[in-house]
Amino acid sequence: MNPVFKDLTNAVRFLSIDAVQKANSGHPGLPMGMADVSTVLFKYYLRFNPKNPSWINRDRFVLSAGHGSMLLYSLLYLTGYKSISIKDIKNFRKLNSICAGHPEYGKNTGIETTTGPLGQGLSNAVGMAVAEEIMKKRFGASLINHKTYVVASDGDFMEGISHEAMSLAGHLKLKNLIVFFDNNKISIDGPTNLAVSDNYKKRFESYGWSFQEVNGHNEKEISKAIKKSLNSKKPNLISCKTIIGYGSPNKAGRSSSHGAALGEVEVELVRKKLKWSYEPFQIPKEILNEWRKIGDKGVLLEKKWNKIYNKKSKKIKDEFLRVTNDKLPKNFNKLIQEEKKKFFISKPDFASRKSSGSIIEKIMTNLPELIGGSADLSGSNNTNTKYSKAIKSSNFKGNYIHYGVREHAMAGIMNGMALHKGVIPYGGTFLVFLDYCKPSLRLSALMGLKVIYIFSHDSIGLGEDGPTHQPIEHLAHLRSIPNLNVFRPADTIETLECWEIALKNSHTPSVIALSRQKLQFVTETLTQKNMCSLGAYEIKKNNPNPEITLIASGSEVQIAIEAFNKLKEININSKVVSMPSQELFEKQPKDYKEKILPEDSIKISIEASSVSGWEKYVGKTGSSIGMKSFGKSAPIKDLYEHFNLTSNNIVSLAKKMLGK
C-alpha cells in the first residue's frame, strides 16, 4: 500500500473519533472537519522536530479552538512526539492523561499553549509572533525566523478578545502569523447565522490582514493559500470552508457532531463512508510510517539550524541561551542590592507606581529581554521609562508595546510571549480593569508563566475617579487564584523586592498592585534578605508580647504604623506586620507564621479593599478594617476618613477589643 493524502487525513479523523467514542465525551466535529487543512500544513509546511519539541526556531502551531483537542493529539502522535503514545490517546479525557479534555500546555510536549476558553489561543499566537519578531531583530533572522500557525473556529472569532488581538496584529503587520479559520458556520446552538453576520473578509481587511478563502477539503487549494501566505507582508487569515463532522453520514454539517461522541453505530457508518476498514486505534504501518517521515524531516531542519547557531560567537550564543532558558544576568543580584541601598539612603516617599517605574528603568538597562507595555495607561502605570522604546510594525527593535485600550488582548499576548521564550513580558493597567483581562490572567497562572502584571491605582486611594475606577473585590479575587503571586508593596524597598521575586519566579505569574498616591518610606532596617519573600514580616515592634497585632498591606502599612505610635502613647503594646503577599506567607513554616501572627495577640487587619479573606489571619477574636461597599468619588483624604481607614479608628477599635 502506498498511502495517499486521504489515508493520512483519515488517520487523523479516526484516531479522533475513536478516542472520543471510547471516552464517550469530547468533540469529534472539529478534527473531522480540519483534518485536511492540518495534514497539508504538517506534511508540506510546518517546520518542527518531534524529537525536540522545544527547538526554539520551530514553527508554532496553536489550536485556539481547544475543544478540538483530539486533532492536536492525533497529529502529535502520528508525527512521532514521545509525549503522546497510542495508550495516551486511548486514555483521552482520563485522569492524568496528557490527552486532557482541552490541550494543556506542557514543556517538551508539543502542546504550545493551554486552550479551551475560546479566543485565548488567538491572542497567544499574536504574542508568539510578536516575540518572534523581537527575537529576530535582536539575534538575526538566521537564528529566529519562524511562523506561527493557528486553527481558530467560529467561536474564537465571536469572542471579544479576537477583535482586540487581530486588530493589534494587523497594526503591527505580523506577517509570520497565519490563521486558519475553520469556517464551518456551525456552533453549539446551531448555524452561526443565529448570532453573527460579520463579513469576515471586510473585517480582516480592515484590520490590515491578508484574506484568502479556500475549500478546506481541497489539498491543492489549501496548499496554494499557505504558500501564498508565506510571502505576505501582512498577517494572514485563510478562511477554510469546511464541513463539521466531515464523513459522518448523519451528523456532518450539524451541531450534533460538535461536542459529543458520534455513537457506535454512526462511527461504523463513518468507517464505511470513508472506506476505513481498520479497528479502533489501529493505524496501518504504512500510513503511520508516512506520518512519521513527515515528523522525521524536522531532525534535519534542526541540525541545519544548529550548524548556523554553532558558528555564532560565544557572546551571542551565551546571551541567546541565557534568555531562551530564562536565566537572569549574572550581575542581577548585585544590581538589586545596589538599588536597595540607594533607596534606603534617599528614603523616597514615592507612590509605589512611581517606585515601580524607577525600578523598571534601572533593571531594563541590564535586562534587554524585558518587554513592557500598557493598555493605554503608560503614564499612570509608570510602565514606560526613559529607556523604553516603542515597538512598531516597521521596527521591532524596541522594548515597549503600546497595546492600546485592549487589556484582554494584552494579557493573552503576554502569555504568548512568555510561551515563546526569550522575552519577559510585563504590562500595565488599573487594578480595577483586571475584570477586562482576567480570563487570560487565569491562564497565566494555570500554565505557570512568567508574566508580570503591573496594576496601579490599587484602591479607593485613587480618589476622585470614583467607584467605577476603585477596585474593591479585586485583591480578594486575585488571591483566590492558584499559582498567582499577588504583591501589594508598602514602599520603595518593598516594591523593589516584589519586582525581584517576580523576575526570579519562572513558573508563577505576578501581580504587583501599586498605589496612585504617595507613600511614606516605612522600611526601618536595610537587609540583604528579601523580606517580601517571607510574605509578611514585622515592620514595627516594641517588645516581644504585643497585645495587638496590626496587619496591613501596601498603602495601609503607613496608617498601621501611625496607629502603632498612637497606641504606644497610651501604653498599648502593639506591633505592625507588613503583608505584601499572602501567597508567600502561606508558604512559610508554621513556627514563622505563629511568630508573626501570635495566637494570643488580638489581630486587626487594615487594607483599603474588601475585607473578604482577612478572616483567616485575624481569627475569631480579631477584626478587619476595609471596604464593605463600593467606594465614592472624592479626594483621598475624605475617602479614608469616610470609610474609617484611619489610625484613629484603629486605635478606638484596639481599645474596644482590649476592653480599655
Ligand X SMILES: Cc1ncc(C[n+]2csc(CCOP(=O)(O)OP(=O)(O)O)c2C)c(N)n1
Q: Does 184 bind ligand X (CB under 6 A)?
A: yes
Q: Does 162 bind ligand X (CB under 6 A)?
A: no
Q: What is the distance, to the nearest Å, from the Cα of residue 222 to the centroid of all Cα atoms in its chain?
A: 31
- Per DSSP, helices labelled H in 311-406 are 314-324, 332-346, 352-364, 378-381
Q: Does 187 bind ligand X (CB under 6 A)?
A: yes
Nearer to ligand X among residue 256 and residue 515 (C-beta): 256
Q: Do the beta carbons of residue 210 and residue 177 sit within 8 Å?
A: no
Q: Does 67 bind ligand X (CB under 6 A)?
A: yes
Q: Which stretch binds ligand X (CB under 6 A): 79-87, 149-157, 481-489, 550-558?
A: 149-157
User: Please, what is the minimum distance in Å from the beta carbon of residue 73 to ligand X?
Assistant: 16
Q: Which stretch binds ligand X (CB under 6 A): 181-189, 196-204, 206-214, 501-509?
A: 181-189
Site for ligand X in 255-314 (CB under 6 A): 258
- Per DSSP, helices labelled H in 24-153 are 29-40, 69-79, 86-90, 120-139
Nearer to ligand X among residue 186 and residue 418 (C-beta): 186
Place of cell 499553549: 113
Q: Does 65 bind ligand X (CB under 6 A)?
A: yes
- Residue from 69, 156, 152 nearest 109 by CA: 69
Q: Quote the CA–CA distance of 274 and 461 in Å, as a whole number.
A: 66
Q: Quote the CA–CA distance of 30 and 65 in Å, as a whole number.
A: 8
Contacts of 137 (CB under 8 A, 6+ apart): 395, 396, 397
DSSP 8-state secondary structure symbol assigned to residue 499: H
Q: Does 188 bind ligand X (CB under 6 A)?
A: yes
Is 3 in a helix, a strand, or coil? Answer: coil
Nearer to ligand X among residue 32 and residue 486 (C-beta): 32
Q: Quote the CA–CA distance of 548 and 510 in Å, as a whole number.
A: 31
User: Please, what is the minimum distance in Å from the beta carbon of residue 78 to ligand X?
Assistant: 21
Q: Quote the CA–CA distance of 533 and 588 in Å, as a whole number.
A: 9
Residue 497 appears among annotated catalytic residues = no
Nearer to ligand X among residue 164 and residue 182 (C-beta): 182
Q: Which stretch binds ligand X (CB under 6 A): 61-69, 304-312, 542-550, 626-634?
A: 61-69
Nearer to ligand X among residue 116 and residue 127 (C-beta): 116
The cell numbers describing 543, all together, are 517588645
Site for ligand X in 116-145 (CB under 6 A): 116-118
Structural element, H or E, at residue 465: none
Among 36, 182, 219, 290, binds ligand X (CB under 6 A): 182
Q: Do the beta carbons of residue 179 and residue 229 sit within 8 Å?
A: no
Q: Which stretch binds ligand X (CB under 6 A): 111-119, 294-302, 306-314, 360-368?
A: 111-119
Q: Quote the CA–CA distance of 420 and 449 in Å, as a whole number.
A: 11
Nearer to ligand X among residue 134 and residue 179 (C-beta): 179
Q: Quote the CA–CA distance of 193 and 105 in Å, as a whole number.
A: 33
Q: Does 100 bind ligand X (CB under 6 A)?
A: no
Residue of 407, 494, 500, 583 with catalytic role:
407
Q: Do the beta carbons of residue 27 and residue 69 sit within 8 Å?
A: yes
**Per-position DSSP letters for 274-287, written without gaps between them:** TT--PPTT---HHH
Q: Do the beta carbons of residue 448 and residue 483 sit within 8 Å?
A: yes
Nearer to ligand X among residue 69 and residue 229 (C-beta): 69
User: Please, what is the minimum distance in Å from the beta carbon of residue 63 to ligand X?
Assistant: 11
CB atoms under 10 Å from CB of 240, counted, come to: 26
Q: Does 244 bind ligand X (CB under 6 A)?
A: yes
Site for ligand X in 470-509 (CB under 6 A): none
User: Please, what is the minimum distance in Å from the beta carbon of residue 251 to ligand X?
Assistant: 12
User: Please, what is the minimum distance in Å from the beta carbon of residue 161 to ligand X?
Assistant: 9
User: Please, what is the minimum distance in Å from the beta carbon of residue 141 to ligand X?
Assistant: 35
CB atoms under 10 Å from CB of 148, counted, come to: 27
Count of residues of this chain found to bind ligand X when the rule CB under 6 A is applied: 19
Nearer to ligand X among residue 53 and residue 117 (C-beta): 117
User: Please, what is the minimum distance in Å from the beta carbon of residue 153 to ligand X?
Assistant: 3
Contact letters (x/-) for ligand X, 22-51, by CB under 6 A?
-------xx---------------------
Q: Quote the CA–CA distance of 505 and 563 in Å, as a whole number.
A: 35
Using CB under 6 A as the criterion, which residues of the chain lie in contact with ligand X when the complex forms? 29-30, 65, 67-68, 116-118, 153-155, 159, 182, 184, 186-188, 244, 258
Active-site residues, by number, are 407
